[in-house]
Structure 1
Amino acid sequence: MNKTTLETRYRIGILGCGWLGLPLSEFFIAQGLEVKGSTPSPDKLQALQEKGIKSFHINLDPSLNSDYNSDFFDTDVLIINFPPKRRDDILDWHTQQIESLVSAIRKSKIDKIIFISSTSVYAEVNGEVSELNEETPAKNSGKALRIAEELLLEEPSFRTTIIRFGGLIGYDRKPGRFFAGKKNLKNGDVPVNLIHRDDCIGIINHVITNNIWGETFNACCPEHPRRKDFYKAAAEAHHFEIPEFLSNKDEFKIVNCDKLIKSGYSFLYQNPVDCLIV
């Protein structure tokens, strides 16, 4: 069973209060916890305050903004939740962002970090991948995340747990519209690696409440329907035009989440098809 409560004196810092970070903040606030959240946009600070979040302007461009308030880093756990930016120099840029962030964390008392990563760190091996796979991914975004993970895991001043989420779905992210009405789409037989936002929040909470530090976890629905079957079901669920896929399977991967399940986490959604109406 998933443990769900923390002592109310616990303080959570969330660097990046976007599509996942904002509801994650609200989840912890509902438990009576103090939450500090950041945004790179000063004009969004008031909106975070109105949600009960202690808001801070934190911008990594790629260095940390010189006027940042160090009180943001006065927390028990810091959740780093921002993806690499899409830019030609993504490897250097994202590495500098993480290095600047680590430098600031060293000056604080934080000793527990959760880094939100992605299954894009894995190469398409035409088979199953676990946390032990080290093949280099093709995309620079995945390479950038690999470098970031290593920098955080190797830092001796704090303990980091990495969570590699699959494709994020749920609520306003309705995958049925992605390919609605399109024809001759490739890779219809490729398995999908997806996860609902409610499970993302549950997994982050599971790591914190059970003090699971210094680990790396894959996190996506344990079942992996074929791409053509999932997106057909997704289109039907939200009344989009049904897409048509070719029955081929080029490069792919199946993300194994057994390690997370063995740690005691019980998925809310075993199959991404079950997420479609949520």
Structure 2
Amino acid sequence: MKKQVSILGCGWLGLPLARHLLQNGWEVKGSTTSPEKIKALEIEGIDPFVIELLEDEIVGDVYSFLENSDLLIIDIPPGLRRDPNSDFIAKLKKLTEAISESKINKILYVSSTGVFQDHESIPTYTEHYKFTPIEVENSQLVHAEELLINLKKVQSSVIRFGGLIGNDRHPVKYLSGKTGIKNPEAPINLIHLDNCILLISEIIQQEKFGMVFHGVEDIKLSKEDYYTQKAKEFNLPIPEFGHETTSKGKHISMAWTSRILEVNLEKKL
């Protein structure tokens, strides 16, 4: 009997992840919020569903989407930058209600290093950082992790990725030519798509559930130095940084992740 996974969100990361899992013998159910993408998912060999989480309901047949899968990968953007007033937690709670009525017993939630705050002290955050009750209350990103990690009868792992790069996606293209960019001395916390898929695959294969992981590549350059270098490599106008205020930022450590998964990421940035 083939292994089956349900991937909620077959987008920029979810679709290539689905391809990878299909190549490795998994049956994949995948969701999109766009009906026009159904055919494209079918061509890939994915069993497609149109699923959209709303604050008061789930649009689409979420029960069929979860049926016969014991692993659910949640890879949907919270959308809080676009709509700060959106209640992402209410949406996730609707999903957990459906999960409780399914046979799902393992969850992998794709989160972000955005759960951590930037500071002038440039703190280092590890996988075992303990959020305060106030931090949980004030951040839907943190609250979402806590909600899924504490689900009963399900083992949930969280992987926090840095900024995502790959498939012609690179933030230097957005920053190129801009002036007065803040935080020139901040560290860089980025990861290539290929390394995202590698880490997720290892978590699944090794059955490392009930844990928190980090995914960032080791870049020993400041924000200013890194993007200046990348602009030259891409033959783009060099971004200009402002030094009027003290830089804020954070280091993201994935030392524990590397050790527990026995993985050393190839630098692709």
**C-alpha contact (below 8 Å) 1:16/1:80 kept by paired residues:** yes
**C-alpha contact (below 8 Å) 2:124/2:252 kept by paired residues:** yes
CA-atom RMSD, angstroms?
A: 2.4
Indicate how the Cα distance of structure 1 residues 65 and 83 shifts in structure 2: closer, same or farther if over 3 A, else same: same
- Alignment of 1:101 with 2:98, yes or no, is no
- The alpha carbon displacement at 1:43 in A equals 2.1
The 5 A counterparts of 1:257-268 are 257-268=254-265
**C-alpha contact (below 8 Å) 1:39/1:45 kept by paired residues:** yes
The 5 A counterparts of 1:96-175 are 96-125=90-119, 126-134=122-130, 143-175=139-171
- Alignment of 1:269 with 2:256, yes or no, is no
Mark the runs of 5 or more structure 2 residues left unpaired by the alignment.
none
Q: What amino acid sits opposite 2:4 in the alignment?
A: R
Q: Per-residue CA shift, 1:182-227, capped at 9, x if unaligned? A: 2332221111111111111011101000010100112111334210
SS at match of 1:178: helix
The aligned residue for residue 4 of structure 1 is none
**C-alpha contact (below 8 Å) 1:187/1:227 kept by paired residues:** yes
- The alpha carbon displacement at 1:176 in A equals 2.3
Q: Per-residue CA shift, 1:66-121, capped at 9, x if unaligned? A: 5415221121211000121232323xx11111100000011111100000011111
Q: What amino acid sits opposite 1:31 in the alignment?
A: N
- Alignment of 1:18 with 2:11, yes or no, is yes
Q: What amino acid sits opposite 2:140 in the alignment?
A: A
The 5 A counterparts of 1:1-278 are 9-65=2-58, 67-73=60-66, 74-86=68-80, 87-90=83-86, 93-125=87-119, 126-134=122-130, 143-247=139-243, 249-270=246-267, 274-275=268-269
**TM-score, with structure 1 as normaliser:** 0.87
Q: Distance in 1 between matches of 2:155 and 2:34?
A: 29
Indicate how the Cα distance of structure 1 residues 224 and 77 shifts in structure 2: closer, same or farther if over 3 A, else same: farther
SS at match of 2:240: coil
Q: Distance in 2 between matches of 1:157 and 1:10?
A: 20
Indicate how the Cα distance of structure 1 residues 189 and 28 shifts in structure 2: closer, same or farther if over 3 A, else same: same
Runs of 4+ in 1 over 4 A off after TM superposition: none
SS at match of 2:261: coil
SS at match of 1:34: strand
Indicate how the Cα distance of structure 1 residues 69 and 102 shifts in structure 2: closer, same or farther if over 3 A, else same: closer
The aligned residue for residue 5 of structure 1 is none
Q: After alignment, is 251-260 or 123-132 more displaced?
A: 123-132
Q: Distance in 1 between matches of 2:106 and 2:207?
A: 9
Q: After alignment, is 239-248 or 186-195 more displaced?
A: 239-248
- The alpha carbon displacement at 1:64 in A equals 4.0
Indicate how the Cα distance of structure 1 residues 167 and 67 shifts in structure 2: closer, same or farther if over 3 A, else same: closer
User: Size of the alignment, in residue pairs?
Assistant: 263
Q: What amino acid sits opposite 1:259 in the alignment?
A: W
